[in-house]
């Protein structure tokens, strides 16, 4: 939220996820063929060698050969835009070049570059990274299938749609087409500079390249879903963490209008801060994306170049990602590499837009996990009440006593646990509840969930039901330490089925059932996915009623 809501800004930093907090508002960014596509056919029908196996689909760019695994066809490494390299770096995504020979689509392509040391899930990285992956239902599936497009998280600085935990086969087996993809990250995806703005003579903006990539994917889906048995008129956009924040950005972006028809944010509510493109009255050395870009150009020795844009584009990927200011420096001043309120791609902060009803009014699911804060506070030292008070005072100095009343140390195993619960509620749980209220107030169907299932394998992490732990249950992919016991299988079946039903109809309930009522301010309802799956009301009501007043002041 911007300071137009009144009051000064303070800052919370939780292990790389950060936000502005206006005095009474607590939110956290913790963190070229032109012919119509042909239906999917077997290889022999479209002229391929049937002995090679696999399946061929004809996209608007050319034919692609996928593979079938356990009855689920998939197509990997499909380009949705031209490589954003050379003169195309720091520009809106350009159309990909068409091809004529059948393209192999059995292997995932490179992930997008990201700062050294961040998790790449085994993928190689390349600046030529604008690729997507498709899973479709079994060939026996009749009619056009709903499409689910997933945006990965990673704080806009890391991650890839290639990650095995996002494997779409399980959801596709339930009758939907699933798309995952890469989008530009960090400095390559979200740096703004006046030199780039001068190149954009139509809109005079820069910086939201990662969001524009996401919209290029949605346009690809519009133009090509039918080639894979999908329905371009029934697209669900869903994402986790930064992916959920991305959904919010697209909810208010004119460029995404009509490209998706349902939305799901998993632990990524729309209250998360978006950097302003300009803020000429900034009180800190780094505040706006443009001022951030100036420091970035200085770090690369390009600030005094005759052609700043050309100089920046001449630098290697390694130099770009190593250039200061890095996110940890920027966060001290309230800016980081993330989506930007530029008046064009993202015209206003999503929370402001939701409050005013200015968003694409599509059916909506939003929710959070039981222990959202643990990932972000695990390295903090808050040993006692005095430290707890000091930490809270940095965030909401006028509400320290109220926070201590709502989160008494006697209710937690220690001061760090109390602070973690407060931060997780403020950033995710209570913000998601407030978001459901804002959406529902416009008459748009909104559903709230709460995820509380502690995976037996995840216990060794000692992070509880941590941020992102619901992903395994949505996709049905239990990787790493996670195990799939009978109880976990039941939750995964319930979540996966609900997400697919919602994608199909805008209602996550089974026909004739209403176990998950739509949220209203009056019923304050949610569905809990935990050791039991139950409908309940008033999620952390006393705490959230207080915190929501700071998130969304009257």
> Is residue 80 helix, strand or coil?
coil
Q: Which positions are annotated as active-site residues? A: 241, 372, 467
Q: Which residues contact 167 (CB under 8 A, 6 or more apart)?
A: 135, 475, 477
Helix 385-395 and helix 415-424, axial crossing angle in degrees, nearest 10: 20
How many whole angstroms separate alpha carbon 430 and alpha carbon 503? 25
Helix 242-251 and helix 209-224, axial crossing angle in degrees, nearest 10: 70
The whole-angstrom distance between residue 148's C-alpha and the CA centroid of its chain comes to 14
How many whole angstroms separate alpha carbon 149 and alpha carbon 263? 10
How many whole angstroms separate alpha carbon 207 and alpha carbon 91? 9
The CA distances from residue 236 to 69, 118, 233, 263, 281, in Å, are 24, 28, 10, 6, 39
Q: How many helical (H) and strand (E) elements, i.e. helices and strands, does the chain have?
A: 18, 18
> Is residue 535 helix, strand or coil?
strand
Let me know: does 46 contact 58? Beta carbons within 8 Å: yes
Let me know: does 272 contact 299? Beta carbons within 8 Å: no
How many whole angstroms separate alpha carbon 462 and alpha carbon 246? 29
């Amino acid at each position: 939220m911007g300071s137009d809501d009144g009051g000064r800004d303070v800052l919370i930093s939780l292990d790389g996820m950060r936000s502005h907090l206006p005095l009474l508002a607590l939110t956290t960014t913790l963190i070229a063929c032109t012919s119509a596509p042909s239906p999917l056919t077997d290889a022999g029908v479209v002229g391929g060698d049937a002995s090679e196996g696999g399946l061929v689909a004809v996209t608007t760019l050319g034919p692609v050969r996928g593979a079938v695994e356990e009855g689920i066809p998939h197509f990997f490494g499909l380009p949705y835009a031209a490589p954003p390299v050379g003169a195309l770096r720091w520009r809106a995504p350009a159309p990909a070049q068409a091809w004529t020979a059948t393209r192999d689509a059995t292997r995932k392509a490179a992930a997008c570059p990201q700062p050294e040391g961040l998790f790449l899930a085994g993928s190689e990285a390349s600046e030529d990274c604008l690729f997507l992956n498709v899973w479709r239902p079994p060939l026996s599936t009749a009619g056009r299938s709903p499409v689910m497009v997933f945006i990965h998280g990673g704080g806009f600085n890391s991650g890839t749609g290639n990650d095995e935990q996002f494997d779409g086969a399980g959801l596709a087996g339930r009758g939907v087409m699933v798309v995952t993809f890469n989008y530009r990250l960090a400095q390559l995806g979200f740096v703004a500079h006046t030199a780039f703005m001068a190149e954009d003579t139509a809109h005079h903006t820069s910086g939201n390249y990662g969001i524009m990539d996401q919209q290029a994917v949605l346009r690809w889906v519009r133009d090509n879903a039918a080639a894979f048995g999908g329905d371009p008129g029934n697209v669900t956009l869903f994402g986790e963490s930064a992916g959920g924040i991305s959904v919010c950005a697209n909810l208010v972006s004119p460029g995404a209008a009509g490209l998706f028809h349902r939305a799901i944010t998993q632990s990524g509510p729309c209250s998360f801060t978006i950097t302003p493109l300009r803020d000429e009255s900034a009180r800190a050395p780094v505040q706006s994306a443009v001022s951030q870009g100036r420091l970035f150009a200085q770090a690369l020795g390009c600030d005094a170049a005759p052609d700043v844009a050309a100089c920046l584009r001449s630098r290697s990927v390694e130099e770009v990602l190593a250039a200061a200011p890095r996110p940890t420096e920027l966060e001290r001043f309230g800016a980081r590499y993330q989506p930007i309120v530029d008046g064009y791609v993202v015209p206003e902060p999503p929370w402001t837009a939701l409050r005013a009803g200015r968003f694409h009014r599509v059916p909506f699911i939003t929710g959070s996990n039981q222990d959202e804060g643990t990932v972000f506070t695990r390295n903090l030292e808050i040993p006692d009440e005095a430290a707890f008070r000091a930490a809270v005072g940095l965030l909401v100095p006028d509400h320290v006593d109220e926070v201590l009343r709502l989160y008494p140390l006697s209710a937690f195993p220690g001061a760090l646990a109390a602070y973690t619960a407060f931060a997780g509620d403020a950033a995710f749980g209570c913000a998601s509840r407030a978001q459901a209220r804002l959406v529902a107030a416009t008459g748009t169907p909104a559903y709230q969930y709460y995820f509380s299932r502690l995976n037996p394998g995840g216990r060794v992490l000692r992070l509880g039901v941590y941020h992102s732990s619901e992903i395994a249950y949505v996709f049905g992919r239990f990787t790493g330490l996670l195990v799939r016991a009978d109880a976990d299988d039941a939750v995964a079946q319930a979540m996966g089925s609900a997400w697919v039903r919602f994608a199909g109809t805008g209602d996550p309930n089974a026909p004739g059932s209403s176990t998950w009522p739509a949220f209203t301010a009056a019923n304050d309802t949610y569905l809990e996915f935990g050791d039991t799956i139950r409908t309940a009301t008033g999620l952390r009501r006393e705490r959230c009623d207080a915190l929501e007043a700071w998130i969304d002041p009257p």
